[in-house]
Amino acid sequence: MAIREIKHYEKDDVLRKKARPVDKIDNRILLLLDDMAETMYNAEGVGLAAPQVGVLRRIVVIDIGEGIIELINPEIVEEQGEQADMEGCLSIPGITGLVKRPARVKIVGLNRYGEKVELEGEDLLARALCHEIDHLDGVLYIDRVEPGTLRRIDQETENRG
Ligand code: ZN
C-alpha cells in the first residue's frame, strides 16, 4: 500500500472530469482501493474519490468512523429529505461552506469482490456518499455551497472528503 498525492482543485483539472465505470476489478483496482483508504486515513478525511488521486475511475472510499466502505461504480438510486451542514474537501484545503444534501440516500454499487451491494446512509454518511459520488462527475461541493457561507478554516476539523 502507498499514500498517493491528493490533487488540488486549482492545480489539476482531473477533478473536473467525469470518471469512467470500472468494467473489471483487477489487481490494479484492488491496489487503488487499498491506496485510497491509506491516503484517506493519512489525511484524516471521511471519504476519498479516485479522481482526487488522479484516477478517472468510478471508485470511492468512505469511513465516517464506523469502518471502511469501498464502492465501485456507485449510484444514488433514492434520496429523501434534506440536511444542511458545513462541508469541506481534501482537494480544497483551508475552506469550508454550508451545503444542502439529502438527509438519506440509497446507493447501489459493487464491492471489491464484484458483488452487488446496496447501502442506505443518513446524516453524515449520506453527505459523504453524495460528496464522493459528485467527485466522479467532476462536481465539487463549492459548486453547491450556499452563497455567502464559504469561509477559511485555520484548523481543518470539518467533515472532509
Ligand atoms: Zn471532496
pLDDT tens-digit map of 37-62: 999 999 999 999 999 999 999 999 99
pLDDT tens-digit map of 68-107: 999 999 999 999 999 999 999 999 999 999 999 999 999 9
User: Which residues form the catalytic set?
Assistant: 132
Each domain of the chain, given as residue ranges in start order, spans 13-160
C-alpha 148 to ligand 1 mean position (Å): 19
C-alpha 61 to ligand 1 mean position (Å): 11
Answer whether 0.85 is exceeded by the pTM: yes
C-alpha 26 to ligand 1 mean position (Å): 25
> In the CATH hierarchy, which fold is given to the domain comprising 13-160?
Peptide Deformylase (3.90.45)
C-alpha 90 to ligand 1 mean position (Å): 6
CB under 8 A, 24+ apart: contacts of 118-125: 119/69, 119/71, 123/83, 124/46, 124/64, 124/159, 125/62, 125/64, 125/66
